[in-house]
Amino acid sequence: MNNNKTLKKALNIALPFVLGGGILWWMYRDTDFKAMKDTVLYDMNWGWMLFSLVFGVTAQLFRGIRWKQTLQPLGEHPRAMDCVHAVFISYASSLIIPRSGELSRCGVLAKYDGTSFLKALGTVVTERVIDSLLLLGITAAVILSQIPIFSSFFDRTGTNLWDTLRGFTTTGYIVTAICIVITIIFLWVAMKRFTFMTKLKEMVGKLREGILSLKDVKNKWLFGFYTLAIWGSYFLHYWITFNCFDFTENLGFTVAIVSFIVGSISVIVPTPNGAGPWHFAVKTILILYGVADANAVAFVLIVHTIQTALVPLLGIYSLVALGLRKTHTTTNYSSIKTEKL
């Protein structure tokens, strides 16, 4: 029995890496990495790239501050910087074990501020719902606004949607299908686990309390500002990198927002930081808007690699910062035991 559990855990950790690695291998199997190295060293504007990283930090900073706001109605008052540290660590941990960040950041607050683990987890669920609704709204607006542009594009080029789809290779269709299947399986497993959790009355009560905390947030306008600031930072984190390369610097806002939305949706496939699905999705959109295949492939690999490198650096910084102080000393340990998953 224990062997089966160990095998299952090992597969849950290994499969995302296998999936992401497989997509990356397929995309870059024929890539001239020497030419890409020259692009990074001599052709890329590092000033813009480094500037984009600022917004990678602010996105997580605003997320931590917003999280503190949602915890306050529950009687939980962790330090604002501890919330930020927890978010930094959560993103870093998700690079090692995909989707583990939600649990790790709640654990950080429980350890250093005595925050209820399950109440914190409930607020994380609330955040995910709010962020998903905002992303869906932006997606709908982008799709509606792009209908005339897509029609004009096809009219001017004398092509139609079917011709565009036929331009995809068989392997491209296979990769897309695999991503869809993996996403469905992931959602099914997540729902199954949630159903199991609901059988535990005390756990559900505290999760529900966390989820409903939004209605008691004192300043909902401020919560809305933080939410927009998070997603605005994410977008700028990505869009600014267009200025790093001569083949993307003139693409404009439209291409940026469309590829950003498609890339954001693609990361639902559980791979480390969206590696693989994000590359494939963003590359496809850039090619649709006229970027050469080799340039699009180079763009997604360089941007994703450099911006992903920021994540463990922030996580290490937070681990060191928290390691210099003591854990919460007034925690009711008997209550924590009842909250363990």
Tens-binned pLDDT, residue by residue, of the chain (341 aa) = 556 566 656 656 666 666 666 666 767 777 777 777 877 887 899 999 999 999 999 999 999 999 999 888 888 889 999 999 999 999 998 888 777 788 889 999 998 888 988 888 888 888 888 888 888 888 788 777 766 555 544 454 344 545 555 555 566 556 666 666 666 665 566 555 554 444 445 555 555 655 566 677 778 889 889 999 999 999 999 999 999 999 899 888 888 998 898 888 877 766 766 777 888 888 888 888 888 888 888 999 999 999 999 999 999 999 999 888 766 654 443 344 444 43
Residue pair 293/31 in contact (Cβ under 8 Å)? The answer is no
Tokens of 174: 């296979």
Query: By residue range, what is the domain housing residue 237?
Result: 49-325
Whether residue 296 is contained in a domain is answered as yes
- Residue by residue, DSSP assigns 233-271 as HHHHHHHGGGGGSTTTTTSHHHHHHHHHHHHHHHTTS-S
Q: How much is the pLDDT for 171?
A: 60
Number of domains in the chain: 1
Q: How much is the pLDDT for 135?
A: 83
Whether residue 151 is contained in a domain is answered as yes
Whether residue 129 is contained in a domain is answered as yes
Q: How much is the pLDDT for 57?
A: 96
Token pair 């480390």 in the structure block, residue: 272
How far is 222 from 227, CA to CA, in rounded Å? 9
Whether residue 311 is contained in a domain is answered as yes
Q: How much is the pLDDT for 167?
A: 52
How far is 316 from 311, CA to CA, in rounded Å? 9
How far is 95 from 273, CA to CA, in rounded Å? 6
* Residues in CB range of 269: below 8 A, 6 or more apart: 19, 179, 182, 183, 186, 276, 277
Integer Rg of the chain from CA: 22
Residue pair 23/279 in contact (Cβ under 8 Å)? The answer is yes
Residue pair 149/254 in contact (Cβ under 8 Å)? The answer is yes
Cα 55 to its chain centre, rounded Å, is: 14
What separation, in Å, do the N-terminal and C-terminal C-alpha atoms of the chain show?
A: 19
Q: How much is the pLDDT for 177?
A: 67
Whether residue 289 is contained in a domain is answered as yes
Q: In this structure, which amino acid lies at residue 128?
A: R
Whether residue 32 is contained in a domain is answered as no
How far is 142 from 13, CA to CA, in rounded Å? 34
Whether residue 86 is contained in a domain is answered as yes
Whether residue 249 is contained in a domain is answered as yes
Q: Name the DSSP letter for residue 327.
A: P
